[in-house]
Amino acid sequence: MSIPGIPVAARRRYGPLARIVTIVCGAIIAAVAYLPWAYGSDALDNVTYLGGPSFIQFIALGMGLVLAALVVCSIRWPDGFGRTQVGWIRGARALATGLLIIFVVVAGAISVQLGGTININYGAWIGLAAALIAFLATRFLIGEDTPTLNRLKTPGWLSILAIAVVMLVMLFVAYYALDQSNPGTFVTFLVYTGVGVAVLLRTGALGWLTRATGAHRRVMLLAAFLVAFLFPFTQGGSDANMSIAAQVLVFAATAMGLNIVVGLAGLLDLGYIAFLGSGAFVAAMLSGTAMATFDVHPPFIVTMLLSGCVAATLGLVIGSPTLRVSGDYLAIITLAFGEIFRLSMNNLDGSDGPDLTHGSRGISDTGDLNLFGFDFGATHTIAGIEIGRFANYYFILLIWLAIVILIFSRLNNSRIGRGWVAIREDEKAAEAMGVNVFGLKLFAFASGAFLAGVAGSIKAHVDISVTPDSYVFLQSSFLLAAVVLGGMGTVLGVLIGATLLQLMPEKLRFVNEYRLMFFGLLLVIMMRFRPEGIIASERRQLEFHDEDEELAERLDENLEPAPGAVAVEGASR
């Protein structure tokens, strides 16, 4: 990493000085946590006290210390340990940049929430200045080679411990982020999380974590679901956050289905929400309530499958004529299909033709699910903790999400998944090698539709009502953005993307009018700097950086040497 503005000679000369400056700045930032940052208590989580840091200030304290520690380590162990390279300076650079962003965000949040920069107290100004100086000083430091922590051999118990710690941190992050009603705190916390991940990535620790946890995939997955399963029990009976969490899960499960279409088969689908909608309407029509338009009420399992099949049939109908032609046509047709769906649902109100959906009013009561005598509408008490209505649905959605992830990753690592990769790589060559290109594309399209349909049938009951307005193009584009921003073809990336995109509007209600503007801006920035998404599948990264030979060499080195592992692990993480 060379920064063009600063010549190597200058860096050599001022390097030692820059190290000292960075250490001092880190210490200052840590100390600043004890100073007041604002004059009013409404900004962030009340940062007005002298000597009593709030949680947000405590993290700044930690980060300041870590910055100083990273530079100290770079002096003490410049070449890492043994043959293992550690990215001390790389991490320090990322952290200094991150701290600068954090203090800018903090200053911005205080000014917005209290009305003007006048409300920023001296603590925040000192912090901002220290972060700026640290940022400039780290530009004078010469970074290490690519860290090789990911090649370390890790004992099993340490990997398991790492998994446990990661899971606890994730549970805490989710709990804390959901708990914030103050948008300033929420944004600052998100930035903290981002900076933390960036530092882990740059020092090479993330590579080590990925490798260590990847060696125990089953434990990791089990732990992740255990944590997700325990989440409702941290809410102390409150259903407010659980309703958001349930929506996040619906969104994530749907995005994961779209991930098969977009991420694996490489097809652009702009009307995916219609499949979710058709599933929801089928479930609502068959829900057996007074509003339902059919007088049949099959068990929910049957309704679920039926919803999926209806959506899949629609997918086949749309897909079979269009998948033979190139991708752009498919995008246009699916876009049109989304509109056709919305308009038909609006017009099937009985004035012309059958009354299936009650028109734009929709089916306003779908009733609650009742599976095996378990009433999803009622509050249950488990282990002394109240589990409300949304928490009940949260559990069933979690199970469904697990199934979708299982389907996704198993298809990805199979004969079919290899075929999809080949089609993305070179369609003509794939065809000439006997891959059934059309069949595989159609299958991706139909299976994606099926999964969305089933998710829709659950969503119908979570939302209580199903109206055509909730299944519009904007939702399709959000789903697509979750996949693209998170990382096409990855499980973790799409989960993160879906969570962020669903959580942000909930927590940042004050920017609601500007939501789309921010969203568009975010997309443009991402596409410019990291088109492969937050979490990149290695293969996708290679596809997006076709000319980057260095990247190809590096990823090649990281590939599993044993041929057996290639087929099993595949490309997704």
Positions in the binding site for other proteins (CB under 8 A): 406-407, 410-411, 414-416, 418-419, 421-422, 425-426, 428-437, 443, 447, 539, 542-543, 552-553, 555-556, 559-564, 566-567
Q: Which is nearer to other proteins, 447 or 476 (CB)?
A: 447
Q: Which helix (H) or strand (E) holds 71?
A: helix 55-76
Please state the closest distance from residue 447 (CB atom) to other proteins, in A: 7
Q: Which is nearer to other proteins, 375 or 548 (CB)?
A: 548
Q: Please report, in angstroms and rounded to a whole number, the separation of the first and last CA atoms in the chain.
A: 26
Please state the closest distance from residue 559 (CB atom) to other proteins, in A: 5
Q: Which is nearer to other proteins, 371 or 406 (CB)?
A: 406
Please state the closest distance from residue 450 (CB atom) to other proteins, in A: 10
- The structure tokens listed for 517 are 């503007």
Please state the closest distance from residue 427 (CB atom) to other proteins, in A: 10
Q: Which is nearer to other proteins, 331 or 422 (CB)?
A: 422
Q: Which is nearer to other proteins, 135 or 275 (CB)?
A: 275
Please state the closest distance from residue 197 (CB atom) to other proteins, in A: 25
8 A C-beta contact, residue 368 and residue 284: no
Q: Which is nearer to other proteins, 139 or 418 (CB)?
A: 418
Q: For CA atoms 206, 211, 215, 218, give the dihedral sign.
A: positive
> 10 Å Cβ neighbour count for 516?
12
Please state the closest distance from residue 560 (CB atom) to other proteins, in A: 7
Please state the closest distance from residue 417 (CB atom) to other proteins, in A: 8
- The structure tokens listed for 395 are 């559990």
Q: How many residues does the chain have?
A: 573
Give the residue carrying structure tokens 């339902």. Answer: 292
d(CA 401, CA 395): 10
Q: Which is nearer to other proteins, 218 or 428 (CB)?
A: 428
Please state the closest distance from residue 553 (CB atom) to other proteins, in A: 6
8 A C-beta contact, residue 476 and residue 257: no
Please state the closest distance from residue 268 (CB atom) to other proteins, in A: 19
Q: Which is nearer to other proteins, 289 or 313 (CB)?
A: 313
In 376-527, at which residue ranges do the beta strands (DSSP E only) sit?
380-382, 385-387
d(CA 299, CA 339): 31
For residue 116, the SS3 value is coil
> 10 Å Cβ neighbour count for 13?
12
Strand partners, 120: 38
Instruction: Tell how strand 380-382 and strand 370-371 pair up.
Output: unpaired
Could you tell me how many helices (H) and strands (E) the chain has, helices first? 22, 4
For residue 112, the SS3 value is helix
d(CA 102, CA 188): 7
Q: Which is nearer to other proteins, 394 or 408 (CB)?
A: 408
